[in-house]
Amino acid sequence: MQSKTRTIGRDGPSFIEVARRAQIVECAIDTIATLGYAQASLHQIAERAGISKSVISYHFAGKDELIQQVIDDVSAAGAAAMWPRVQAETTSAGMLRAYIHSHIEFMRTHPKHVAAVTEIFTHYRSKTHEAAATPLEERLRQGQRDGEFREFSPRVMAWTIRAAIDEVGRRFVATPDLDLTECARELSETFALATNR
Amino acid sequence: MQSKTRTIGRDGPSFIEVARRAQIVECAIDTIATLGYAQASLHQIAERAGISKSVISYHFAGKDELIQQVIDDVSAAGAAAMWPRVQAETTSAGMLRAYIHSHIEFMRTHPKHVAAVTEIFTHYRSKTHEAAATPLEERLRQGQRDGEFREFSPRVMAWTIRAAIDEVGRRFVATPDLDLTECARELSETFALATNR
Amino acid sequence: MQSKTRTIGRDGPSFIEVARRAQIVECAIDTIATLGYAQASLHQIAERAGISKSVISYHFAGKDELIQQVIDDVSAAGAAAMWPRVQAETTSAGMLRAYIHSHIEFMRTHPKHVAAVTEIFTHYRSKTHEAAATPLEERLRQGQRDGEFREFSPRVMAWTIRAAIDEVGRRFVATPDLDLTECARELSETFALATNR
Amino acid sequence: MQSKTRTIGRDGPSFIEVARRAQIVECAIDTIATLGYAQASLHQIAERAGISKSVISYHFAGKDELIQQVIDDVSAAGAAAMWPRVQAETTSAGMLRAYIHSHIEFMRTHPKHVAAVTEIFTHYRSKTHEAAATPLEERLRQGQRDGEFREFSPRVMAWTIRAAIDEVGRRFVATPDLDLTECARELSETFALATNR
DNA sequence: CATGAATGAGCGTTCATTCAT
DNA sequence: GATGAATGAACGCTCATTCAT
């Protein structure tokens, strides 16, 4: 039974349902990260999960829902891991440093998750993609209002920072022994200098 | 028949061979830029070229070779348009500024070419992607040796600069009325500050 | 477990068994009439019944048996509604008139049932279809023996009458504001003239 | 190359193209007539034609186009065989007799074609289905205007006549040794009596 | 009795590729 | 050189059915 038609009683989805969905999402992440989005067919994903292709169709309304769930799960995990560290900072410069470091730290702990959503975002032309940068953009703008940052286009700067972090992610997936600590330090310094008044 | 095995005599590929390949590559660029990589089947490309699908198979070993040729042609055109301007600069800072501006200028003059390779890079697990950044990396290193640039990882900086430019390309493709001049100015300033000693 | 193998003791099917089968058959009728045969999957039928898909599999040997039960139930209901009126007539002409009118009257009172079996008959290679016409055929034959009807092939005439009534049913399903009274009158007159000595 | 994208030069489709399409259409007719519409998958049709499933996709835009071609071909053949005979009649009664006889004669010469379109019409909810009866309806109306036919609803009568003929078609498919001559005579007499003033 | 879960076969369609002419 | 024709594998998806609990 698909989630759409599920009875919204007090029980919610069963334990096994939740577990299966989680398992499938994990396998989807693994498959996408390893083979790339284009090769990540339901057949491939199912094979990695050791289940039949139609089990996926049973637990998800379609491939789109599965992909969306991957995005949602990873985004939620990423946000949970990152924003607290960003919020804890009192200066805009500190916030920016925390933003970069926490993103790259998340890559270290969840390399495949990051690889998967990166693949998805580049292939899927998601609407949510755009949105992702705007919180950062808003914070950059705040740093300018506070007089802490120099004048620059917050939009272009936000694009640049995101692109730089994503690029490190891609490199890390391709080269797992990449020194993430160095990358984080480098980006941190680069954008500190680029934004500082 | 693969192009590789074609050159038997001393003549190399015939005139018509060269012309056909060029025509097909141009149509491939046009198709990919317009419809996106996923929709750019050989059928679509051939239709736009007004030729049969099998002509492509005749002149190219396979779709992979065609795609690679698109990358190569656009890269060559880009390099031809950009490196002279970069080489003309005498300082490393000037070189970096010229690198960014000429790249973005190339986007303005060849939007479809840029759109096509952007589509390809995001949808196609390319092996050649890596190589592109290294000339820039070498120049950054030179700037450090000259004492003009501060100490940073030339590799990570080169990645960042390329990623930023590519991101502008993606945004430009998605939003053709994007102010490229502003973007070029912003990136130029950003990376001037980031690299300056 | 099939219903056929259920009856082991002297009791026959339990009350709940009978009720469930009836409920499922009703929902199947409703679903087929509303969505059409092609869309009437077990999933759809079960959803409308508010039960699990496998309940159907439990009470019926398969979809075929369910469909057959729909046919049987509706046929029985139809016969119960129609034959008394037919039997009550003393002349063959009256009988024929009653046959046509009562059939069309049944459409008016049971539109969904008629719609469902109509859908089934057109989409489902039924073997039992044949049988339905033979009682009518026998009565036509009787009318000929009594000298009330002219000489004609009772078989072909019976087919024609049934086909005409079914066609009205199809039209009624497609166009619910069809004037059934007019149709009944027209068919009645048509076949009175066609059979009269 | 699908017919839609075919170049409309002076050549038109090639000989082999025409032959293949005709062959596929014939096999589709055969398959639908034999197995029924629901079982007539592209795989089945292709298997009967001794070709690969994708050959059909090559010559037809999709299953819909194939089915439509079956309808068109059979309708054209049927009309060509029937209308001249109908038109040749000078009286409305003669016309109606010719209509019935030529239809049933067409069944005798093209039994599978008739079976196939009957299957398609009942499964496909075609828009053209409705239209088919109206020329007949118009002729019945003309017969009334001429005072040759009694007063009746031409629409219901046309439905009835078509339904009767189609029913004979269905019976003939199910029972190939059905005496079509008798059927034609019976229907002819039946509807002569039913329409005569 | 009833169910959620799982399965495998089949659907129409797309596509890069091969091949005889 | 060039082409139409043909192919087979893969795609996402639907569905009736089976099974353990």
One-letter-per-residue 3-state SS of A112-147: HHHHHHHHHHHHHCCHHHHHHHHHHHHHHHHHHHCC
Q: Name chain A contacts of B153, Cβ cutoff 8 Å.
A: 182-183, 186
Give residue for tokens 């969904």.
Answer: C112
- Cβ-defined contact of C163 to D159 (cutoff 8 Å): no
Q: For residue A6, is pLDDT > 60? A: no
Q: Name chain A contacts of B186, Cβ cutoff 8 Å.
A: 152-153, 156-157
Q: What is the reported pLDDT for D125?
A: 60
- Cβ-defined contact of C167 to D163 (cutoff 8 Å): yes
> Which of A38, A153, A187 lies closest to B186 in CB terms?
A153
Q: Name chain B contacts of A160, Cβ cutoff 8 Å.
A: 160, 163-164, 167, 187, 190
3+ Cβ–Cβ pairs closer than 8 Å linking D and C: yes
Task: Label residue D92 exposed, middle or buried (CB < 10 Å: 0-12, 13-18, 19+).
Answer: buried
| Distance (Å, whole) CA A161 – CA A63 | 31
Helices (H), A36-62: 42-49, 53-59
Q: For residue A160, is pLDDT > 80? A: yes
Give residue for tokens 């009807």.
Answer: C149
Report yes or no on A6 lying in a domain: no
A142 neighbors A92 (Cβ within 8 angstroms): yes
Three-class SS of residue D58?
helix
Angle between helices B42-49 and B15-35 (to 10 degrees): 120
Q: Find the Å distance, CA of residue C175 to C1' of nucleotide E3.
A: 40
Report yes or no on C5 lying in a domain: no
B116 neighbors B74 (Cβ within 8 angstroms): yes
- Cβ-defined contact of C157 to D194 (cutoff 8 Å): no
Q: What is the reported pLDDT for A183?
A: 98
Report yes or no on B3 lying in a domain: no
Helices (H), C110-153: 111-123, 134-145
Three-class SS of residue D40?
coil
Q: What is the reported pLDDT for C4?
A: 43
Q: What is the reported pLDDT for C123?
A: 78
| Distance (Å, whole) CA C55 – CA A96 | 58
In Å, how far are A169, B196, C130, D139, D173 from D121, measured between CA atoms? 57, 78, 20, 23, 15
Three-class SS of residue A2?
coil
Report yes or no on A3 lying in a domain: no
Report yes or no on C3 lying in a domain: no
Please identify every stretch of chain C with a pLDDT value under 50, giving residue numbers as ranges: 1-9, 127-128
Residues 6+ apart with CB under 8 A from B158: B133, B134, B136, B137, B140
What's the gap in Å between the CA of B54 and the closest CA on chain A? 24
- Cβ-defined contact of A156 to B193 (cutoff 8 Å): no
Q: What range defines the domain where residue C157 resides?
A: 12-195
**B190 touches A at CB < 8 Å:** yes
Q: What is the reported pLDDT for C105?
A: 95
> Which of C130, C156, C193 lies closest to D194 in CB terms?
C193
Q: Find the Å distance, CA of residue C52 to C1' of nucleotide E3.
A: 7
Mean pLDDT across chain A: 88
Q: What is the reported pLDDT for C34?
A: 87
Taking the stretch 144-183 of protein chain A, residues with Cβ within 7 Å of any atom in nucleic acid chain E are: none
Q: What is the reported pLDDT for B147?
A: 95
In Å, how far are B100, B160, C175 from B165, measured between CA atoms? 7, 9, 62
Q: What is the reported pLDDT for D5?
A: 42
Q: For residue D161, is pLDDT > 60? A: yes
> If you ran DSSP here, which 8-state letter would residue A156 be given?
H
D152 touches strand E (CB under 7 A): no
The tally of CA atoms less than 13 A away on the side-chain side of residue B148 is: 14
Report yes or no on C68 lying in a domain: yes
| Distance (Å, whole) CA D102 – CA D105 | 5
Q: Which residues of A101-122 are buried (b: 16+ CB within 10 A; e: fewer)?
A: bbbbbbbeebbbbbbbbbbbbb
Q: What is the reported pLDDT for D74?
A: 94
B64 touches strand E (CB under 7 A): yes
Q: Which nucleotides of E are covered by protein (CB under 7 A)?
A: 1-20
In Å, how far are A67, A71, C63 from A31, measured between CA atoms? 12, 14, 37
* DSSP line for C23-64: HHHHHHHHHHHHH-TTT--HHHHHHHHTS-HHHHHHHSSSHH
Query: Amino acid identity of D66?
Result: L
| Distance (Å, whole) CA B112 – CA B118 | 10
Angle at D41 between CA D36 and CA D43, to 5 degrees: 135
- Cβ-defined contact of C160 to D167 (cutoff 8 Å): yes
**D131 touches C at CB < 8 Å:** no
Structural tokens at position A177: 């022994």
| Distance (Å, whole) CA B194 – CA A190 | 5
Taking the stretch 30-49 of protein chain D, residues with Cβ within 7 Å of any atom in nucleic acid chain E are: 39-44
Residues 6+ apart with CB under 8 A from D154: D137, D138, D140, D141, D144
Structural tokens at position B144: 């450090």
| Distance (Å, whole) CA A169 – CA A165 | 6
Chain C neighbours (≥3 Cβ pairs under 8 A) are: D
Q: Which nucleotide is nearest to B61 (CA to C1')?
A: E17
Structural tokens at position A80: 């949970």
For an interface test with A, give the residue of B103, B160, B172, B183 to mutate (most A CBs within 10 A): B160
For an interface test with A, give the residue of B186, B187, B197 to mutate (most A CBs within 10 A): B186
Give residue for tokens 């009746």.
Answer: D152
CB atoms within 10 A of CB D41: 13
Distance, CA of A63 to chain centre? 19
List beta partners, residue D149: D196
Locate the chain B residue with the closest alpha carbon to A193: B194
Structural tokens at position A71: 């995005």
- Cβ-defined contact of B190 to A152 (cutoff 8 Å): yes
Locate the chain B residue with the closest alpha carbon to A153: B186
Q: For residue A10, is pLDDT > 70? A: no
Confidence of residue A118 (pLDDT cuts 50, 70, 90): confident
Mean pLDDT across chain C: 87
For an interface test with B, give the residue of A103, A149, A167 to mutate (most B CBs within 10 A): A167
Q: Find the Å distance, CA of residue D42 to C1' of nucleotide F18.
A: 28
Structural tokens at position C23: 């409920």
Q: What is the reported pLDDT for A38?
A: 86
- Cβ-defined contact of A159 to B164 (cutoff 8 Å): yes
**C131 touches D at CB < 8 Å:** no
List beta partners, residue C196: C149
Residues 6+ apart with CB under 8 A from D73: D25
Structural tokens at position A84: 């607290």
| Distance (Å, whole) CA D115 – CA C82 | 32
**A164 touches B at CB < 8 Å:** yes
* DSSP line for A6-29: ---SSS-S-HHHHHHHHHHHHHHH
Residues 6+ apart with CB under 8 A from A35: A44
Query: Amino acid identity of A185?
Result: R
Please identify every stretch of chain B with a pLDDT value under 50, giving residue numbers as ranges: 1-9, 127
Q: What is the reported pLDDT for C10?
A: 53
Q: What is the mean pLDDT of residues A20-35?
A: 93
Q: What is the reported pLDDT for C148?
A: 96
If residue B89 lies in a helix (H) or strand (E), which one and from where to where? Answer: none
Q: What does residue B149 show for φ and ψ, rounded to 5 degrees? A: -100, 155
Q: What does residue B60 show for φ and ψ, rounded to 5 degrees? A: -125, 145
List beta partners, residue C149: C196
- Cβ-defined contact of D186 to C162 (cutoff 8 Å): no
Q: For residue A153, is pLDDT > 90? A: yes
Specify the length of chain A in residues.
Answer: 197
| Distance (Å, whole) CA A126 – CA B70 | 26
D105 neighbors D43 (Cβ within 8 angstroms): no
Q: Which nucleotide is nearest to C6 (CA to C1')?
A: E1
Angle at B123 between CA B119 and CA B129, to 5 degrees: 80
Report yes or no on C45 lying in a domain: yes
Q: What is the reported pLDDT for A131?
A: 58
Report yes or no on C88 lying in a domain: yes
Structural tokens at position C13: 């099917």
Q: Find the Å distance, CA of residue B37 to C1' of nucleotide E17.
A: 19
Structural tokens at position A86: 């960003």
**B183 touches A at CB < 8 Å:** yes
Structural tokens at position C155: 């078989």
| Distance (Å, whole) CA B1 – CA A184 | 49
Structural domain count, chain A: 1
- Cβ-defined contact of B196 to A193 (cutoff 8 Å): yes
Taking the stretch 3-42 of protein chain C, residues with Cβ within 7 Å of any atom in nucleic acid chain E are: 14, 16-17, 20
Task: Label residue C33 exposed, middle or buried (CB < 10 Å: 0-12, 13-18, 19+).
Answer: buried
- Cβ-defined contact of C190 to D194 (cutoff 8 Å): yes
Distance, CA of B42 to chain centre? 21
- Cβ-defined contact of C159 to D171 (cutoff 8 Å): yes
Q: For residue D7, is pLDDT > 90? A: no
| Distance (Å, whole) CA D37 – CA D26 | 14
Q: What is the mean pLDDT of residues A1-24?
A: 67
User: Residue D124: which CATH number?
Assistant: 1.10.357.10
Confidence of residue A4 (pLDDT cuts 50, 70, 90): very low
Q: What is the reported pLDDT for B5?
A: 44
For an interface test with D, give the residue of C118, C190, C196 to mutate (most D CBs within 10 A): C190
Q: What is the reported pLDDT for A124?
A: 72
Q: Name chain D contacts of C188, Cβ cutoff 8 Å.
A: none
| Distance (Å, whole) CA B28 – CA A123 | 19
Q: Name chain D contacts of C186, Cβ cutoff 8 Å.
A: 152-153, 156-157
- Cβ-defined contact of B191 to A187 (cutoff 8 Å): no
